[in-house]
Amino acid sequence: MDDFYIGIDLGGTTIKFGLINNDGLVKEKWHIKTNSDNLGEQILPDIINSIEKHLLKNKNRDSIKAIGMGSPGSINSIKGTVSGAFNLNWTTEQPLKERIESAFKIPFFVDNDANVAALGERWMGAGEKSNDVVFVTLGTGIGGGIIANGHLIHGIAGSGGEIGHLIVEPNGYLCTCGNRGCLETIASASGIARIADEISHKDHNGKLAKAAQKEAIDAKVVFDLAKANDSSALKVVDQITYYLALGLSQIADMLNPKYIIIGGGISQSGTFLIDHINKYFPNFVFPNVRETTSLKLAKLGNSAGILGAAYLAKIGLQKKRGNI
């Protein structure tokens, strides 16, 4: 009988679940709404109930060997706890591992959502099972997950891979982290909107300025206008992709991964985005890195979280059994 894992992708609005086998085949998937009322006290019981309901329907319950989860916030992957997940209203430490393992009597593993998405893309997506891949998610913020020599990089306090806070402009905009000029202040959704706003003020007759009069400009509007060759939207794209290339080149030189995989909402602008980053990227990197590291779009979309969480469970279990 095939071994199965439950992969959980815990997000601020929905919690996604997948029942996934050893080869990454998703046998079932389902989701529930995230109820973050009352300091998110219902989230953990809701997760346990939802798995319980699914297990009751599953005749092969014994084939499910472990549970994995990707979560926002600060993760202690050894203790299996999460704290400071503000979009879930979790302010105090949540004992996920303790509760889930006592409910189901199988091992539970948790890591941060960007790391877990990196594992998913490495296993079943754009990473092609390579031992050296970096995943960058461009969305409301910028997150990252680094896999080097086959291992996720956590650092000593779990902040390894905070790619969004690489400083690319020392005197730049103030970031939510307190520093100035982090990549996130430029190439996240809000960063792009701010640069678009500035450029549309200087160039009042362009389509971007006209769009700004009608609605708040978001990254999608910018990329759609740039694809239609609007000169001010192209200036915005040029500026953000210059800084993205600069930030990603530092990662490339440091780690020389096979791929730097770009995902998240902004990556929906597709090869247009990659082509623009590639206008600058090769000039910023060390020659041998230029030949061997490439930029690539993520493939799994919303499924990266559940697949990565199942993979986290699979490798976690192997380590626990002493197989690797």
Catalog residues that contact Zn ion under the rule CB under 5 A: 165, 175, 177, 179, 182
Measured from the CB of residue 165, what is the shortest distance to Zn ion in angstroms? 4
Considering beta carbons, is residue 179 or 256 the nearer one to Zn ion? 179
Q: Find the DSSP H helices in the chain.
A: 37-40, 43-57, 96-104, 113-124, 184-187, 189-202, 207-214, 219-227, 231-255, 271-277, 281-284, 287-292, 304-320
Considering beta carbons, is residue 74 or 179 the nearer one to Zn ion? 179
Measured from the CB of residue 184, what is the shortest distance to Zn ion in angstroms? 6
Structure tokens at 226: 């740039």
Whose CA is closest to 74, among 49, 57, 91? 91
Considering beta carbons, is residue 187 or 262 the nearer one to Zn ion? 187
Measured from the CB of residue 174, what is the shortest distance to Zn ion in angstroms? 9
For 322, phi and psi rounded to 5 degrees? 80, 20
Rounded Cα distance, 122 and 193, in Å:
30
Whose CA is closest to 194, among 176, 212, 210? 212
Rounded Cα distance, 182 and 23, in Å:
38
Measured from the CB of residue 267, what is the shortest distance to Zn ion in angstroms? 20
Considering beta carbons, is residue 168 or 193 the nearer one to Zn ion? 168
Considering beta carbons, is residue 153 or 167 the nearer one to Zn ion? 167
Considering beta carbons, is residue 42 or 179 the nearer one to Zn ion? 179
Measured from the CB of residue 183, what is the shortest distance to Zn ion in angstroms? 8
Rounded Cα distance, 188 and 18, in Å:
28
Measured from the CB of residue 185, what is the shortest distance to Zn ion in angstroms? 7
Considering beta carbons, is residue 54 or 194 the nearer one to Zn ion? 194
What is the amino acid identity at position 160? G
Measured from the CB of residue 176, what is the shortest distance to Zn ion in angstroms? 6
Considering beta carbons, is residue 121 or 184 the nearer one to Zn ion? 184
Q: How many CA atoms lie within 13 A of 224 on its CB side?
A: 8
Rounded Cα distance, 311 and 270, in Å:
26
Rounded Cα distance, 71 and 28, in Å:
20
Measured from the CB of residue 98, what is the shortest distance to Zn ion in angstroms? 32
Structure tokens at 58: 């599953």
Rounded Cα distance, 209 and 203, in Å:
7
Asked if residues 61 and 81 have their Cβ atoms less than 8 Å apart, the reply is: no
